[in-house]
Structure 1
Amino acid sequence: MYVLYDTRSVHPLERYEYAREGAAAELAPVAIHGRAPDKLLAVMSVAEIGDFKIEEVTWAADSEIIGNRTGRLIRACDPGCYRLFLSVNGNAQMEQAGTQVSFRARDIALYDLSQPWRAIHPMGTKPMHLVMLTFSRKLIPMRRSAITSLAGTAIPRNLPGRSLIAQFLIELTNAATEQGDEPDLANTLRECAVGLIRQRLNQPNGITPRTRRLLHRARIRAILHRHLNDPAFGPEKLAQIANVSPRYLFKIFQNTGFTPMQLLKKVRLEASHRSLRDPSLASTPIKAIMAMHGYLRPDQFARDFKQHFGVSPTEVRSPASQPRTRRHGELQIARPAAIPTSSPEPNPNNGPAT
């Protein structure tokens, strides 16, 4: 994820104006109003995953602040998007189309960024944490008129699949940097968004068993990224953290062509490959990079790496091994070809997956 703005990077006396400028530069610009607080923390980080943007916001102030998405701002910049708004720890308030939501922890609501809305950031020293998933209306295979009634409303807490999606979005912010270029993740986000809206409208093919498996797989991949450096990490601990039984853990990966531990090895190797090509780690010994990603034996690491990529770790580290392509008169290092992650399941919403 990249940081769009962070008030900790400027002098305290400049933080309010800096936050206002940052809010005005968001994907859907917002006008900030209210008395300038003496203490203010405002941080927004953004990651792009396929056609989706995931935005993480942390906010705390010693006075109430109001953000308005006005008609004038919409006319100046309308991305034509919906947004799933998740309050991680509660205390947020939003209003759109005459409906006000006072968020509790892990509440989710849907907003139309082409319609005015109002956000209230209450006074408090405890930071408010938000996660927002933004996506084009064109990705939703339903008429906009059918979704209009949902704009500004909270997703019922007892809606099947809602809690799983909330947990997935929270964990995704911790792994978006490593996973942002994985096509399976973008497909999972699409199914998540479409399925949640369908489920809310009582339409068929909402949060289906396939959607749940995709969400669980994405969550498990995020968990694996967080435990790459633990050589003792195994299926029992993975199932415990993912809050599933060991039996269901293996069921999730049926018809994918690999087991959870095979996926762990694959994630470790791909992370090692990225580290070996990272210029900032050029002076780090290969043995240290191996240990950073959970390998204890150099011979096992070298064997697995060569089998997976067709080259040795030393060859990847060597500048001469990095293929170059000339574009517009400049030399650029080409990215390695994408490595398939799993066999796709048929998608009942869109026909056969590709």
Structure 2
Amino acid sequence: MTTAVLHESVFRTADLPAGDRFEAWTERMGRTHAPMQLASDRAADYRGEQRLVGLGDVTIWPAAFDHLVFRRTPKLVRQSDPEVYHLSLLRRGEGAANWGRQQVAYRIDDIHTNSSSRSWEVCTGPDPVALIGVEIPRALVPLPAHRAERVVGGRISGREGVGALLAQFLVQLVSDTAPYQPLDAPRLGTVVADLVTAVFAHSLDADRELPPETRARTLTLRIKSFIRRHLHDHELTPARIAAAHHISRSYLYRLFQAEGTTVASYIRDQRLKNACRDLADPALRTLPIHAIGARWGYPRAAEFTRAFRTAHGVPPSEFREVASAADRAQTPPGRGLSAK
């Protein structure tokens, strides 16, 4: 039985004759964001690949492509305006945007923002670039339009703060969409909309203007990120987590109750998920089991074994043996042996 997954489409210029590739890429970009004029010094044999992931009203599109100049002119804006904000998280390469009086350069892990309602020019560097694009209707960013527009054209760091939360979520989502079903799409779209809104508000120093539900969901994502970074600390407690985020423990508990879980359950599940990964990793086969437990917040071996057995029905030693046997069964004969 086939399990339904998120709706995705993939476009590759390599699937077309060389002479048709650039025109097809121009058409694809126009449908993805808004009509644009495109130019490239690689147009004769253009290389580009894009995945399109639909999340309700929000669209995510990881892409990699050759040098490109995007131009959205005033005439194109008048002809067609889907009224969306666009964000690009740069993953490889470099780029720059020209907004007339304003020019901004972007480097890896920067987030570029623009609007389909404004004219602009964006140019990538000479080498191929990779990015994760986001298309989000302006109506889903509940900030005064005249204020939100002030963010457009700026450079937002995807390495720290709320920008890092958005970047991490996008990277994690596009790396593997298999766990998600079509019914998850609107929920995931809401998470993206909340994070984009929070990024805009933070850039405007307008966090207090966020709707309460957006603040709560964004705070929960920040707390989860904090927890994942501190799983190794066996003293990671609700009190410490609440203090680090300047909230009460009761409010912390309510945030997780709204997600159908508890703080303790989330910490335990994340620790054991990472422990499972390490136990199944052939490269860590010689690392003692108690050391794996300790690196994920279980300094006492007995405590680690008890928690692991409760969650998985077997002790970590048996889990590792089964994983090792499965890996050996999939290893082609002679792999890793020197040729004679």
Give the counterpart of 1:33 among 12, 36, 39: 39
Deviation at 1:39, TM superposition (A): 4.5
Alpha-carbon distance between aligned partners in 2 of 1:3 and 1:128, rounded to the nearest angstrom: 20
CA contact (8 A) 1:87 1:106 kept: yes
The two structures, once aligned, show a CA RMSD in angstroms of 3.5
Q: How far does residue 48 in structure 1 lie from its aligned partner after superposition?
A: 1.6
- Retained in 2: the 8 A contact 1:55–1:131? yes
- The residue identity in structure 2 corresponding to 1:92 is G
- Structure-1 separation of matches of 2:223 and 2:10: 29
Are the structure 2 counterparts of residues 191 and 44 from structure 1 closer, same or farther at C-alpha, using a change threshold of 3 Å?
same
Q: How far apart are the structure 2 equivalents of 1:155 and 1:191?
A: 16
Give the CA deviation at 1:44.
1.8
Gap change, CA 1:25 and 1:175, over 3 Å in 2: same
Counterparts in 2 of 1:29-108, with a 5 A limit? 29-60=35-66, 64-96=67-99, 98-108=101-111
Matches within 5 A, 1:161-172: 161-172=162-173
- Structure 2 Cα separation of the partners of residues 91 and 37 of structure 1: 19
Matching residue's letter, 2:38: I
Give the structure 2 partner of residue 243 of structure 1. Answer: 229
CA distance in 1, matches of 2:260, 2:107: 40
> 1:183-241: CA deviations, max 9, x gaps?
44233222211111111111134695751423666x89xxxxxxxxxxxxxxxxxx8xx
CA displacement at 1:4 relative to structure 2: 5.3
Deviation per CA, 1:140-193, whole angstroms, max 9, x where unpaired?
222211122221111256863222221211222123454353244233222211
Provide the C-alpha distance between the structure 1 equivalents of 2:14 and 2:47, rounded to a whole number of angstroms.
7
Write the deviation string for residues 16-71 of structure 1: whole angstroms up to 9, x where unpaired. Answer: 232223223333122212445454321122112132111212112xxx53121122
Aligned equivalents of 1:82 and 1:11: distance in 2? 33
Q: Which amino acid in structure 2 is aligned with residue 172 of structure 1?
A: L
**In structure 2, how many angstroms separate the alpha carbons of the residues matched to 1:131 and 1:254?**
29
Residues of 2 paired with 1:65 and 1:33: CA distance? 6
Are 1:181 and 2:183 matched, yes or no?
yes
Instruction: Give the distance between the partners of 2:38 and 2:135, measured in 1 at CA.
Output: 20
Secondary structure of the structure 1 residue equivalent to 2:27: helix
Instruction: Give identity over the alignment, percent.
Output: 19
Q: CA 1:27–1:109 in 2, change beyond 3 Å: closer, same or farther? A: closer
Answer 1 or 2: which has greater helix percent: 2
- Contact 2:158 2:166 (C-alpha < 8 Å) held by counterparts: no
- Alignment-derived partner of residue 155 in structure 2: 154
1:195 aligned onto 2:198: yes
Distance 2:151 2:49 in 1: 28
Moved more, 188-197 or 250-259: 250-259
Runs of at least 4 residues off by over 6 Å = 249-253, 261-265
Decide whether aligned partners of structure 1 residues 18 and 245 sit closer, same or farther in structure 2, where only a CA change above 3 A counts: same
Tell me if 1:123 matches 2:130: no
* 1:9 equivalent in alignment to 2:2: no
Q: Deviations over 1:266-299 (max 9, x none)?
A: xxxxxxxxxxxxxxxxxxxxxxxxxxxxx999xx
Kindly provide the CA deviation profile for residues 108-157 of structure 1, in whole angstroms up to 9, marking residues without a partner as x.
Answer: 12211111121213222xx3111112211112222211122221111256
For 1:161, what is the secondary structure of its paired residue? helix
Give the partner amino acid of 1:23.
Answer: M
Structure 2 Cα separation of the partners of residues 244 and 97 of structure 1: 44
Deviation per CA, 1:285-320: give whole Å up to 9, x if none.
xxxxxxxxxx999xxxxxxxxxxxxxxxxxxxxxxx
Give CA-to-partner distance per residue, 1:233-254, whole Å, 9 cap, x none: xxxxxx8xx5342565987884
SS in 2 for 1:25: helix
TM-aligned CA distance change 1:19 to 1:147, over 3 Å:
same
Q: Distance in 1 between matches of 2:197 and 2:29?
A: 28
CA distance in 1 between partners of 2:51 and 2:237 (Å): 31
Paired with 1:18 and 1:65, the residues of 2 have a C-alpha distance of 14
Question: Unmatched 5+ residue regions in structure 2?
Answer: 1-6, 242-251, 273-311, 315-340
Cα gap change, 1:65 to 1:133, in 2 (>3 Å): closer
Partner-residue secondary structure (3-state), 1:20 = helix
Q: Provide the secondary structure at the position in 2 that maps to 1:98.
A: coil
User: Gapped runs of 5+ residues in structure 1?
Assistant: 221-238, 266-294, 298-354
In structure 2, the residue matched to 1:144 is: 145
SS at match of 1:47: strand
Pair 46,177 (structure 1): closer, same or farther in 2 beyond 3 Å: farther
Alpha-carbon separation, structure 1, partners of 2:157 and 2:173: 22
Q: Contact 1:88 / 1:170 at 8 angstroms: preserved in 2?
A: no
- Contact 1:91–1:128 (CA<8 Å) still a contact in 2? yes
CA contact (8 A) 1:42 1:59 kept: yes
